[in-house]
Structure 1
Amino acid sequence: MHVRAPGARRTAVPAALLATGLLSALLTAGCGQDDDPSVAAPSTPATSAAAPTSSAPASAGSPTPAASTPAVDREITVTVAKRRVSPPTGRVTVTKGQLVRITVTSDVADELHVHGYDLGARLPAGTPGSVEFRAEKTGLFEVETHETELVLFQLVVR
């Protein structure tokens, strides 16, 4: 005779949802005002500004100093001015496993949020804010601002 543990059935349902992609779809379906990406534990840390670049020339024969952050595979830059998104809202496709950096500059204080990855960054007015992460989850994810509720673009990870 086989006896099933009380929690066994509950763990099978999320696994089935995960396998079919329904759980991912449910998690990315909406954004509540109670979401606070600054509290979430992202898989990689979010940064509040783009990494500084050096304008000093490297001396001949010496290697260029390494940047404080690793080179990214895909950099996406968005500007918001007077509630207009530039470049215009659309889809941006990246390959699963790529290191992605999203940098947003807004003319008003706001908060950047990447759905599905639960990443966010504060956007002080006129100052770039960035998130950097490895695109390990496949699917379609909205990238938006929370205060002004603007969809910046849809991130497609394949």
Structure 2
Amino acid sequence: MPAARATTTAAAVCLLALLAGCDSSPAPVPSPSVALPSPTAAAVRSAASSPPAASSPPAASSLPAVDKEVVVTVVKRKVSPPTSRVEVAKGSLVRITVTSDVADELHVHGYDRTLPLPAGAPASLDLRADRTGLFEVETHASHLVLFQLVVR
């Protein structure tokens, strides 16, 4: 049994050496580092092909709800419908659509909003009526008053 005694003695010496190296203060604990696994090619393909959790609505329904739409046509310097006042409540969303037979520019006074008007094609401008008052909507090149916007 001398071999067993030698093994026991060696184990005791190792244990004492380990205990002797320890002091009463706790050993510093290394701060944990988080290593996130990188996605596999299959996971990337799967994520790319799967639909998003919340599907987005079609583009047409993503347009904001319009409170008032004003459609004006200009042909041979004649405004149709004839120039008048359009009344809206403060905070309303107003869509102004103009079709002009000549290239021009739409301007909403007081809001300093402009819109290029191509010849023969409709162009639209959405405007949040967030200021009260009377505002002229006109064309710049031809100097035609299309209507007056009254915001109350």
TM-score range normalised by the length of the shorter chain = 0.5 to 0.7
1:74 aligns with 2:68: yes
* Greater RCO, CA 8 A, separation 6+: 1
TM-score by length of 2: 0.60
1:142 corresponding residue in structure 2: 136
Instruction: Find the residue that maps to 1:67 and give its secondary structure.
Output: helix
**What displacement does 1:65 show?**
6.9
Matched position secondary structure for 2:107:
strand
Q: Does 1:92 align with 2:81?
A: no
Q: Deviations over 1:53-86 (max 9, x none)?
A: xxxxxxxxxx987524112010000000010000
CA distance in 2, matches of 1:124, 1:81: 13
Unaligned runs of 5+ in 1: 1-62
Q: Which one of the candidate residues 96, 103, 108 is aligned to 1:114?
A: 108
Deviations 1:122-147 (A, max 9, x none): 00000111110210000000000000
Higher share of residues assigned helix? 2
Distance 2:138 2:76 in 1: 15
**Partners of 1:104 and 1:96 in 2: how far apart?**
22
Which residue does 1:15 correspond to in 2? none
Identical amino acids, percent of aligned pairs:
72
> For the aligned residues, what is the CA RMSD?
1.5
Q: How many residues align?
A: 96
TM-score, with length taken from structure 1: 0.58
